[in-house]
Chain A
């Protein structure tokens, strides 16, 4: 019996590690930007192209920045969640239309509704690169000092909003 104990325990440990490995998502790369000041940008707005959207105007506010595009399938899943969140009025959502066609973006918002307070346009994806975006949708929670406090890779689900986003926003509001 004793001679099986060592191989068996090694086997159990290896299975344990592999089991943990299965639950991890290799797509989720920890962002080095969490805890740092959000990159500056000033982009034309989607609706009023003459106007500029810049995070400098949002100092002193807790806000969400959501990178989306009309061509992105994950954004379709996420859209109703964003609509609900916007309607609840608990946090303001700003959108960044990432590498998209203006007409299609407008049609998309007309059909599904517009959860964004302001939508900026990142036509060549440069703001995306500065934020470390590597796949839309991605959502950033930015605090009153303009620091990124959380990054959601992939679509927001009601569960994520309930358990992560809203408690964090509440905590940041009171800071």
Chain B
């Protein structure tokens, strides 16, 4: 009976050994890969990061990054490697340069337009709505009506 148990243990052990391999054997390198991969876009499924994607290209690129980490290349060097091949599009945070100005400044321009429009509308409204003046006679009438209403309720 003990032997059977031992065999079952061995077999099941080898069954899961092939799954869920760590990204690298070195935990420091693994942390670096993770840190880099969340900043990089998968070119195939464009709304996923390189870390999330299971597309074959993403796997290949993770392999490349892993090898570059093993070669002791710095983060900027690794990013430069990918940008020189795939363009700024691989970066989730594109750099600020001439071609990306609209991307970075655009939202602020839209906000400025919105705020200006709001201020202008509010000012115009305060000018057009005239202060209502109430005469003493009208005031008395209002008081009277209110009092009557109270009595009724």
Contacts and interface: CB of A to CB of B under 8 A. Distances in A.
Interface of A: 26-27, 29-33, 99, 124-126, 128-132, 134-135
B103 interface: no
B49 to A, nearest CB: 15
Nearest to B89: A29
B57 A125 contact: yes
30 contacts: A26-B46, A27-B46, A29-B43, A29-B86, A29-B87, A30-B87, A30-B89, A31-B86, A32-B84, A32-B86, A32-B87, A33-B84, A99-B56, A124-B60, A125-B60, A126-B60, A126-B64, A129-B60, A129-B61, A129-B64, A129-B85, A131-B85, A132-B86, A132-B87, A134-B43, A134-B44, A134-B57, A134-B86, A135-B43, A135-B44
Nearest to B57: A134
B142 interface: no
B83 interface: yes
Contacts of A27: 46
Interface of B is mostly: helix
Interface size class of B (residues with CB under 8 A): 10 to 19
Contacts of A30: 87, 89
Contacts of B84: 32-33
Nearest to B90: A29
A130 B85 contact: yes
Interface string B42-67: 01101000000000110011001000
For the complex of A and B, the 9 pairs showing the least CB-CB separation, nearest first, are A134-B43, A132-B85, A32-B87, A29-B89, A125-B60, A132-B86, A134-B57, A134-B44, A29-B87
Contacts of A129: 60-61, 64, 85
Contacts of A130: 85
Nearest to A31: B87
B83 A32 contact: yes
A99 B59 CA distance: 13
Given A31-B87, A128-B60, A134-B86, 18 more contacts: A27-B46, A29-B86, A29-B87, A29-B89, A30-B87, A31-B86, A32-B84, A32-B85, A32-B86, A32-B87, A33-B85, A125-B56, A126-B60, A126-B64, A129-B60, A130-B85, A131-B85, A134-B43
Contacts of A125: 56-57, 60
